[in-house]
Every structure is written in structure tokens, then in C-alpha cells.
Amino acid sequence: MIEMIHKLIEKIWNTEEIPNDWNMALICPIHKKDDKKEYRLKPLAENIIGDYQGGFRKNKSTIDQIFIIRQLAQKTWEFDQELHTLFVDFKKAYDSINRECICKIVEHFLLEKVIRMMNISPDEGVKLDGTSISILAYADDIVLLGNNINTMKSMCERLITAAKRVGLQINQEKTEYMEISRQPEEFLKVGPYRFKNVPQFKYLGSMITQSNNMEYEILKRIQMGNKCYYAMDNLFKSRILSKTLKLQIYTTLIKCIVLYGAQCWTVRRSDESKLRVFERKILRRIYGPCRDLQTGEWRKRHNEELHHLYNRPDIVKEIKRRRLEWAGHVWRKPDALTKTVLQENPRGKIPLGRPRMRWEDCVRKDVAVSLPEEDWHMLAQNRERWRQ
């Protein structure tokens, strides 16, 4: 069987053609109420997979899941609630599955089967105004969510039991527990497992911290951008490559690394300053020094000179553009978890003192620059006007 699958994949790779059967999907006609002759087509797989799953699905990406986690962290902190998260990793998931029941489970999808066997009730998970979110998944990356440690223990116990039935086992070394609250617990103990409470966790490439501090994530992205930049330092030093080509390397490689997940960021002025310093460092390398007209000596280019030469929006304006684009996308998406976590709030009281800047505050501020009296929710409904 393995040899046959290998030959098939090898043939597809060499010919760059996929079998016709792979282009087929089981489609179910969903008739409308008024006229049975009118209907919409919907793949049956969408009915099997829950809204919690964001992996390899149309109109969903890692940004959806990151945005949900960040919004839950922001709002539970603001309303003085607890957010318990368990980032689950299975030990050798593809090697330990029970082969005897694999065919039946594949028909209903393995992860979906495990989650259904957990029997999660609507009262569990993180409670918002009218919704409860207890689990998120991207492919086989699972996050359990709870608003207290007892709920988290109960869900984890059922996950362990359900996974064991299909031959899956939780990897204690790689499974991380994190509580976002003002007084976090030291660890989570469930049966034989003991998960230490970590101060931060890298979820789908984005750093989530125990205090929901965006500064740490931005510093990490800048570090990754620097690592990529210094790895290609010879290209930026080269006199053979044109400045245009070097700019393309920066915008398509380095800048994309730094701005991964920037749609979900709540950026402060100090963060904006660090991002601009990072970008100007690379632009100075690309454009090189210049002679001072008065002294005749070589000097670094001033910020205004770099802005004039670059002649395009800087990295902070790019973050704002992406954030506005994402805000419109989320608001026009009915019945999506991303819109739910943006609209609804947890039950609780806001502590005394000035609250932290919210993500939605950043969106309002960005919109107010050009349209100070407009409600961004109304503007976002009109796609064409929002893009303008």
C-alpha cells in the first residue's frame, strides 16, 4: 500500500497533474424556503466539521484562529475574568492511530470524532454574551479553552479518554498550559499528566503571552526579521544587485516575516517606533550613505531622505492598512467565530483604572483619520467604500 501511494504521489509530482477523482466533492443541494427550484450547493464535509476548525477550509486561515485567541485574551483581561488555555500536542499522532477502526473514523474525520466523544456542553468554555467557545483547532493543533481550572480539568480528562479510544496519546512534554489572568495558577494536573503554566506560547507562529502583552510578540517578529536580514546581508551589500531588486527582497521576504499576524495587533506608540527603526535600518543599507553638501563627508541618510526615496507607505501604515482590511472582512462575515468574539463580551465588571487599548480602538482611530464622524461598523458593510 505504501509503495502504491508513493508511486502515485511521484507520478503526480512529475506530471504536475492530479487525478480527476481528486477534483470531485460530495455536494448536497440546500433548497430555499420560498422556492424549491432554487437552491444552493454545499459540500457535505462542511456539515461534519465544526466552526472551531480553521485548517484547510475555504475563507479561513491561521489568522482567524490567532484573532479569536487574542480577542478572548483581551476581553477576559479587560473584564477581570480568567482564560485557561491548553495547547494540545499528540504523541506521534499518525503512527499511533488504531488501524482497526481507522476506516470508520476517516469517514467522519478523526479530530471531529474525538471532539464529539468529549460531549462538551454549552455551559463549558469561555462564556461571552450569548456564546460559549470551548475549543479551537487548526488541522491537528487543538486548543482547549475554559474560564476556570475545574472546567479545564474536566474537558482535558474527556479529551484524554476520547483520544485513547482511537489510539492517540497526549504528549506531556509538548502540550502547554497557559492561564491569562492577574493571579495565574502554577500548573494544571489532570490524572497522570502535569502541565506547567507557561508565561508564553507560540500558537500558529504567533506568540501569546500570559499577560496578553503585544510588545513581546512584536519584539519576536522584529528579531525574526533581523535574522532573515542578516542571513541575506551579502545580497544587500552587493553592488551587482540594483536597489529596486533589494527593495523587492525586503518587501517580499523580510517584511512579510515581521508582519505575520499584524492584522490582530494592538500597537502602541513605542511599538510603532521600534518597527520604524527596524525598517529604516534596512532602507539605509539599501540606499547607502550620501555626501553632506556642506562638509563633503559621507553620512547616514536622514529619516526624511529615506521617506522620500522609499516613496511608499512605511511599515506602520502597512499594519494599519492590513488591520482595516481584516476588520472589514470580519465584520462582513455573518455567523463566524471571528465576528462573534469581536461583537460579544464576557460577563464581568471592568476593574478600576484606565483599561488597556483594545484592538477595536485601533480600528476606530485609523478610520477617524479620514472619516472622523463615521461609524466603522456601517462603513465596513459596504466593501467598495471600505476599500477606499
Kindly state whether residues 307 and 322 are assigned to the same domain.
Answer: yes
pLDDT at 136: 92
Kindly state whether residues 232 and 186 are assigned to the same domain.
Answer: no
Domain boundary among 209, 231, 266: 209
Say if residues 332 and 371 touch (Cβ distance below 8 Å).
no
Over the chain, what is the mean pLDDT? 85
Kindly state whether residues 153 and 256 are assigned to the same domain.
Answer: no
- pTM here? 0.82
pLDDT at 33: 55
Q: What is the pLDDT of residues 175-205, one digit of tens each?
A: 999 998 888 888 899 988 999 899 999 999 9
**299 or 16, which is more confident?**
299
Number of domains in the chain: 2
Kindly state whether residues 148 and 219 are assigned to the same domain.
Answer: no
Kindly state whether residues 382 and 343 are assigned to the same domain.
Answer: yes
Q: What is the pLDDT of residues 276-299, one digit of tens each?
A: 999 999 999 999 999 888 888 999
Phi and psi angles of residue 297, each rounded to the nearest 5 degrees, phi first: -90, 155
pLDDT at 41: 45
Kindly state whether residues 193 and 223 are assigned to the same domain.
Answer: no
What radius of gyration, in Å, describes the C-alpha atoms of the chain?
25
**DSSP 3-state of 141:** strand
Kindly state whether residues 199 and 347 are assigned to the same domain.
Answer: no
Q: Range of 122's domain?
A: 61-209
Pairing of strands 206-209, 298-299: unpaired
Q: What is the pLDDT of residues 251-267, one digit of tens each?
A: 999 999 999 999 999 99
